[in-house]
Chain A
Amino acid sequence: METSPLPTQFSREATIYVEDFITRLRRGQVIEAKKVAIETVNLMRHVISISRWDNVTMLVELIKSVGRKLVSAQPRELLIVNVICRLLRMVEEESEAVEFVEEEWSSREPTREPVSATSNKGSETPAMGLGQAGALLTRNLTEQVTSQLEVETMTLLGFKKNIINEINEYIMELSNIEDDIAKNALEYIHSNEIILTCGRSHTVEKFLRKAAAKRKFHVIVTECAPTYDGHEQAKALAACANIDVVVIPDSAVFAIMSRVNKVILGTRAVMANGGLIATSGTHIVAAAAHHHATQVVVCAGPYKHSPWFPFNDDRFNILLSPDAVLPYREGDLVNTVDVVSPKYDYVPPELVDIFVDSMGGHLPSYLYRLMQENYDDAKDFAWNIYDQ
């Protein structure tokens, strides 16, 4: 994909940061979900603070243009888009109750006199219906409410400070996300239960460890071909005093499922309908659990919520090197067969019973609402990004 040129207000320095991050993404040096999210936010914070922007519109455009550039470099990385949408929403929220006062960029003294507000929709009269007209209507009502509240006047610089503070808070939230999710663990895991999980997930590891602080239970870990990072997960969990760990091959999942009380899974991303984009192999585990009426619990922080619906299961998938599935050593075979090794599975929402994030548990059908809250209109950015 052609990378779009960055807009002119980009400083040379910012361009360097963006390019550097893109290079590291492309080289696969930033892989772990949380790391991708945090590094993206860090980059945005940096770009926002060193770039020049004179109003909210320019700021939004700045964030979008960096976002577009990152997405064109890594079009299948959902997390980047999630995070950008969240930032856009943040800017929107922050600017809603603000009236800007004109002044020199460098001046720090706030003036009392409000100048024309940057309200872009206030002049419209309430329209009807639930349609676009209706959306406008409800928005107008909320605006009427907010307009009754104190409208803060502030300078652009003060606004910038606020935004950076917000972003810092967001980074904090991201850094602690696994612990925050793990706080709920005791509600989901009881003593002597048999839990099954697949592959490596830091979120699930912390979740189980938290529960193990109070309770003793068994965890079955599947290997998860072709990376077999279930081995690492098992090792990490077995270091915990109260957990008995059993490693099984992927093929034994159905055989063992009749003895499993709960399946706890991590995921790479959650689609707006509650479907998962998760490590390949998750689908069969969830399907086997569903067949045995075993509850499937998915631990995922809000930054994994993607504003997309899964209209194309394969769009976000990546095919890995066939070497991991059929070693190049088996040269004679490699020549005669196609080897398929997808990185992710799409797991439909009906195979998931509950999502756990820092707030607690949510039904798959409710995820759509959470997504709405997280992103609101900012999701349009995601919805349009592939059209450009």
Chain B
Amino acid sequence: MPPFASGAGQRKLPKPSGSTVGIAVHPRIKEVGLRMATMDISGSNARTVAVMLAFIDVIADYTTPPHTTLVYHLTGYLSPQINFLVHQRPMCIGMANAIRWLKSEIIHTSHDLKEDEAKSQLISKIDGYIKERITAAGDIIADAGAQKIQDGDVVLTFGASSAVQNLLITARKNGRRFHVIVIDSRPEHEGRGLVRRLSKGGNTTGLSDGVTYASLTALSLLMRDASKVFLGAEAFFANGNMLSRAGTAMVALSAHSCHVPVIVTCETYKFNERIQLDAVVNNELGVPDALIDMSSEAMAQDRLNKVCPLNDWRANQRLRLLNLTQDVTPPEFVSVIITEVGLIPTTSIPVVLREYKNQI
């Protein structure tokens, strides 16, 4: 087995009982977890919001057992819920950050509060976190990013980032006319969804002077026409490296070598104090069989009937399919990060991290 293909295993099936004894997984958590596993909820923001909303319900339904206090017990109570979620799908960094924040909020809750008061305080804090760090942040980012689009721009984006989508729609509302190039990749083809959603809020000709759709392999041809590249990020590490949907690094590299500015949207709650040097040390592995599923590829009729030559890959010990879903973009490819605290260079990430830490 090649050294890079070891690491984390494939996504596990949900364990019915989990590792903790005696504490049931809350039905809302089960629902959210399963929807994440089936990719019904995907994308950092959507997943984090869904999980935080679920925790509101969990806390609302929670009663402190006798002989203990909420501050001591609640974090322990949440652990199996979190474990369940992780079993469904590895946490994204934004979600992990949010949960870490929640735990620290619980620990810092005043012992003097009554249970009801403590619960409602926590719930309103979570609500505030969602609003301030995610929803409102997204709006600020969309507004700031839309300012960067000028008439006649050719905007290139990769996959489907909700932040980029909002930004493009905002720019259109502001009356900007521009062309969008959506670059997409197998196996998820998230870009098709973006194209569809962009055309839903009015036809595509209203959005811009049109939308171009192409696969990642056509990137070098299309990059020549692009005037700006907008990308979404899953996380930024303290060294300025960006974790994102696999393929993003190549789009940024290509833009960098064509002197096209790369504009990344990222809410600060996705900034991480860890440092990750490359995409192999830590990566979420997708289902390998997604690579042989050609059903969304509708080749010309003759190819459609042809089976994928790798269908029986499991029969050959020396053949393996590796579906890496993330990659790490070096900071030199990123011109600017648009956050809710302003437009910042990648070198300023540690500063933002420190400021937030001081606030707590």
Contact = CB atoms under 8 A, between A and B. Distances in A.
Interface of A: 194, 218, 220, 223-226, 228, 231-232, 234-235, 238, 241, 243-256, 258-259, 279-281, 283-284, 287-288, 291, 314, 317, 321, 323-330, 332-333, 336-342, 345-346
B275 to A, nearest CB: 15
Given A226-B299, A256-B280, 7 more contacts: A225-B185, A232-B309, A246-B321, A251-B216, A332-B196, A336-B204, A338-B212
B67 interface: no
B13 interface: no
Q: How large is the interface on B (under 10, 10 to 19, 20 to 34, 35 or more residues)?
A: 35 or more
Contacts, number: 209
A60 to B, nearest CB: 37
- Which 9 pairs show the lowest CB-CB distances between chains A and B? A327-B298, A251-B247, A281-B217, A255-B279, A255-B327, A283-B220, A254-B249, A238-B319, A251-B185
Nearest to B4: A259
A249 B246 contact: yes
B297 A194 contact: no
A333 B199 contact: yes
Contacts of B324: 248-249, 251-252, 255-256
Contact of B250 (A220, A223, A279, A287): A287
Interface in B242-293: 245-247, 249-250, 253-254, 257, 278-280, 283, 291-292
B300 interface: yes
Contact of A288 (B245, B253, B321): B253
Contact of B247 (A218, A232, A250, A340): A250
B86 interface: no
Interface in B118-141: none
B215 A287 contact: no
| Centre residue among B291, B296, B310 by max chain A CB count within 10 A | B310
Interface of B: 1-5, 182, 185-187, 192, 195-196, 199, 203-204, 210-222, 245-247, 249-250, 253-254, 257, 278-280, 283, 291-292, 294, 296-300, 308-310, 313, 316, 318-324, 326-329
A78 to B, nearest CB: 17
B213 A338 contact: yes
Q: Is the interface of B mostly helix, strand, loop or mixed?
A: mixed
Contacts of A291: 253
Nearest to A330: B192
Contacts of B215: 225-226, 250, 325, 341
A194 B323 CA distance: 17
A333 B195 contact: yes
Contact of B185 (A235, A247, A250, A326): A250
Given A288-B250, A325-B214, A244 B2 contact: yes
B329 to A, nearest CB: 8
Nearest to B323: A249
A287 B5 CA distance: 23
Given A284-B216, A284-B217, A254 B186 contact: no
A330 B280 CA distance: 34
B220 A333 contact: no
A225 B215 CA distance: 7
A113 to B, nearest CB: 62
B318 A328 contact: no
Contacts of B316: 238
A255 B300 CA distance: 31
Contacts of B278: 255, 258
Given A291-B253, A323-B299, A252 B327 contact: yes
Contact of B280 (A246, A258, A288): A258
